Structure formats: structure tokens, C-alpha cells
Amino acid sequence: MNAQLTAGDICTRQVAVAYKSMALSEAARLMRERHVGCLVVVEETGDGPIVVGMLTDRDIVTAVVAKDMDARTLRVDDVMTRDILTTREDDSVLDVLASMRRKAVRRIPVAGAQGQLIGLVAADDLLGLIADELRTLVQALAAQPRVERQSRS
């Protein structure tokens, strides 16, 4: 894998966001409309949206649905995960992978120096990258006998 690739190189820059004051049912509808499993929770500042948490479909299931709570009475702030891992735009892909493994998370917001949202790296992004690298390796291995035959002819 190209160790020079960074979180900024592979992150999705158009990220679905929520605000702490948003109704949880509205956030769930937004997830469905955008076909995403998470929303990055932000607060607006003069420097742009600052990452303050994450809300995942799993958060809604485990904290609301499984407990028979009424989602219409809750806000994103009631359910979101506050203690989240972020990564910097210039962190290497290998660092991002190590952080995801260490914290057992599938998604990491990419944040600037003041915590402003830049993008989101998901496990799916990394799987696509790794699959491309493996494809390249398979092609190299498959070409070896042909190259060897040509060089010995």
C-alpha cells in the first residue's frame, strides 16, 4: 500500500451532518434519504462546522429502539457518541487503519487543526483501496511466469 496516501486523499468530503438540537427522527430520515449509516454531529462556528460527535444507525437501534424509547421525543444530543476519534487530513492511511483498529470503529471524521470537519474516512473507503492494491499484486504475480519465459527464450 502506498504509505504516502493520507486521510485527506481518500476521505469523502461531502459528509452528511446533524446538529445536537436536531430531532432524532429527523436525523434518522436524513440517514435514509442520504443512504448513510452515520451522521457527523457538528456545531457551527466562524471557522466552519466543528466535529462534536457521531450518530450512527447502531446508536439509534441500541439506545432507542431496543429500549422501546420514543424517537420523536429525543434529540441527536440524547443519543450521539461524544467521545469520538478524529484524524487529521495529513495522517497516513496506515495511521488511520491503526486508529480504527485500536478504537474498533468503522468511520473516522477528518478534522482540521481547530476541529473543523473536512471529510469522513469509512472502512468501505479503505477496503476499496486495499482491494486495488491486492489486484495490482495479483497482476504482478500472474505476469511473472510470462516475463520469465520471455527473458529465458
Instruction: Give the residue carrying C-alpha cell 436524513.
Output: 30
Structure confidence at residue 153 as a pLDDT band (50, 70, 90): low
Q: Count Cβ atoms below 10 Å from residue 68 Cβ, excluding itself.
A: 6
Name residue, grid cell 486508529.
99
Q: Where does the pLDDT of residue 17 fall: very low under 50, low under 70, confident under 90, or very high at 90 and above?
A: very high
Closest CA relative to residue 51, chosen from 13, 9, 19, 76: 19
What is the per-residue pLDDT across 90-99, written as a single tens digit (0 to 9) for each?
Answer: 999 999 999 9
Check residues 70 and 79 and name the one with the higher pLDDT: 79
Judge whether 22 and 75 are in contact, CB under 8 Å: yes
Beta-strand relationship, 38-45 and 48-56: antiparallel
H or E segment at 54? strand 48-56
Across the range 50-78, mean pLDDT stands at 92
For residue 95 the three cell numbers come to: 495511521
Judge whether 133 and 100 are in contact, CB under 8 Å. Answer: no
Domains of the chain: 7-122 (3.10.580.10)
Indicate the Cα dihedral angle 93, 96, 97, 98, nearest 10°.
120
The model's pLDDT over 18-61, given as tens digits with 9 standing for 90+, comes to 999 999 999 999 999 999 999 999 999 887 899 999 999 999 99
Identify the H or E element spanning 110: strand 107-111
